[in-house]
Amino acid sequence: MKRFARLACWWIPLVLLLFAAASTADEHAYVGNKNCKKCHIKQFKSWAETAMAKALETLKPGAAAEAKKAAGLDPDKDYASDPECLVCHTVGYGKQGGFVDVATTPDHVGVGCEMCHGPGGTYTQSEYMSFKNNEYKKADLVAVGLVDTVGEEQCVVCHNDKSPTGGEFDFATQIKEGVHESFGLKYEH
């Protein structure tokens, strides 16, 4: 019995440690919009002109005043540091590698690439999607965090009835008007 107790004292913490490490490994880190821009410059320039890119700006005092009034919010209040707002107006707020503040993580401002395409901390590494490996396969990237096909499920994380300005969300219209242009890739994947 003593031997069992001694073994349990060693094995139980070891097993718990392994489970903790596995759950951390499953969460891919955010890397920010500039990391995507290196290879996807046309998409980045197109995105930079969208409301998604400027989402954090709408939280500042006086910005989007009519929308704030309609939602019962104070249009003169600064919501740009409100955690409830930052989750949907920045990249990865509160998650590994995500937005901290404008000074610390300026490449995570706005609704950027990874909010739709998934955290890029793994799939943008050189052994996956990079100039060094232009023969990568999309399935390999999906296996390490890339969203296979951006769909309504990514949008409704924020565009829902819990959002003060949520209201009705028309995915079919928004996917045509509210996002960056799509450009073909140089290589087949």
For every residue of 29-92, DSSP letters joined together read PP--HHHHHTT-HHHHHHHHTSTTTTGGGGGSTTTTHHHHHHTT--TTS--TT-HHHHHHHBSS
- For 101-156, the pLDDT digits (tens) are 999 999 999 999 999 999 999 999 988 988 788 888 899 999 999 999 999 999 99
Report the pLDDT value the prediction gives residue 140, as an integer from 0 to 100: 92
Q: What is the DSSP letter of 30?
A: P
pLDDT surpassing 80 at residue 166? no
Cα–Cα distance between 19 and 44 in angstroms, integer? 38
pLDDT value of residue 168: 80
pTM exceeds 0.85 for this model = no
Share of the chain above pLDDT 90, in %: 60
- CB neighbours of residue 18 within 10 Å: 10
Domain range list for the chain: 28-177
Sequence-distant (6+) residues with CB within 8 A of 82 are: 59
pLDDT-derived band of residue 25, with 50, 70 and 90 as boundaries? Answer: very low
Looking at residue 2, its pLDDT comes to 56
Mean pLDDT in residue range 37-47: 92
Residue 26 is predicted with a pLDDT of 55
**Structure confidence at residue 18 as a pLDDT band (50, 70, 90):** very low
What is the token pair recorded at 170? Answer: 């028309």
Average pLDDT over the chain, rounded to an integer: 84
Q: Which CATH superfamily is domain 28-177 in?
A: Flavocytochrome C3; Chain A (1.10.1130.10)
Alpha carbon distance 109, 55 (integer Å): 8
Q: How confident is the model at residue 1 (pLDDT cuts 50, 70, 90)?
A: low
**Bridge partners for 90 per DSSP:** 109
Q: Is the pLDDT of residue 94 over 50?
A: yes
Give whole-number Cα distances, 149 to 14, 153, 161, in Å: 38, 10, 24
Structure tokens at 156: 């409704």
